[in-house]
Chains A and B, each alone.
Chain A
Amino acid sequence: MKLVLCTLCMLASALSAPSAPEARAHCNLAALTAADRARDQQLIPLLAGALRERKELQDGYAYRFDRGVLKELGEWLDIEAKCCQPLSYALVLEPQPGGALWVHITGHDAKEFIDEEFAPLGKKLAAAGPRR
């Protein structure tokens, strides 16, 4: 009984504990070269123009893009994943032809960070209507 209570206490403590420092969302200072940064600045407006929808997920957001930017999206994710850590990036191309192109960006205790970090992407979407 004591062991069960102790285990429960440890579990509760682990669940309520703040994120471990190494697990918190952060921007890697040295990850990007000048070329990466310049390319990132080129890609953001292009991708923002192709963003069609943003959906809230439990631990992040899903962004739906025009199918035509798949290549640029892959390139951009490669840059972002070097800088914004420790997040998960999932590129989803639904069955073709016609299936949607999604990027899921998620992370433990990082939803607010993801919202802020990728806000430039959703500016046009936000201006077009209520935020999704």
Chain B
Amino acid sequence: MIARGTLVVALLLLPEHGGPDAIRWRTDEAAARAEALRSGRALLIDAWADWCAGCKLLDRNTWSDPAVRKEVRGRFVPLRIDVSQADGPDEARLRTLGVEALPAVLLCSPRGCDRDSPRSVGYVGSREMLVFLRGPPPSG
């Protein structure tokens, strides 16, 4: 029984299960914004879709990087907007933010995002992502 329990814990710690340090993406924008306001941390939006190759690469190579995870955990409230389903309200929301391509990562002030929010478009590895995350903070 102990061995089985150990195995379960070990499996949960494997990278494909996210591990204890995995980025906990929020999916409710209003709640994420409220959390950002409360904590004073900036909002980090990951515009994502299951048909987007660059999004999968970001998950596999960039968001899984310990340095990137640490940066995100320490400074941001991470929010994922999933537009896997075409023409839904989330896609419309992304359009209001001027997002026209995926993957797109936006840095927003705790008060929210707009078309001028700093963004990284296209797949980037962890080194470039860290430069972006450590860049000028979002205004507003």
- Report A-chain residues with C-beta under 8 Å of the C-beta of B95: 29-30
Chain B interfacial residues counted at CB < 8 A: 27
User: Of B51, B57, B121, which one neighbours A21 at CB under 8 angstroms?
Assistant: B121
Most interface-central of A25, A29, A84, A112 (chain B CB within 10 A): A29
CB contact under 8 A between A21 and B120, given known A26-B101, A28-B101, A29-B102: yes
Which of A19, A24, A27, A117 counts the most B-chain CB atoms under 10 A from its CB? A27
Secondary structure of the B contact surface, majority rule: mixed
B86 within 8 A of A: yes
For the complex, is B122 an interface residue (Cβ under 8 Å from A)?
A: yes
Q: How many Å from the CB of B106 to the closest CB on chain A?
A: 13
A34 to B91, CA, bound (A): 14
In contact, B57 and A27 (Cβ under 8 angstroms): no
- For residue A37, CB closer than 8 A to chain B, the reply is yes
Q: How many A-B residue pairs have CB under 8 A?
A: 66
Size of the chain A interface, CB-CB below 8 angstroms: 22
For this complex, 26 residue pairs linking A to B, each with C-beta atoms less than 8 Å apart, are A18-B128, A19-B124, A21-B121, A24-B124, A25-B123, A26-B101, A26-B103, A26-B122, A26-B123, A27-B49, A27-B52, A27-B54, A27-B101, A27-B102, A28-B101, A29-B91, A29-B99, A29-B102, A32-B86, A84-B53, A112-B123, A113-B53, A113-B54, A113-B57, A116-B53, A116-B56
Interface, chain B (partner A; CB < 8 A): 49, 51-54, 56-57, 83, 86-87, 91, 94-95, 99-104, 120-124, 127-128, 131
Q: Which positions in A face B, CB cutoff 8 Å?
A: 18-19, 21-30, 32, 34, 37, 84-85, 112-113, 116-117, 119
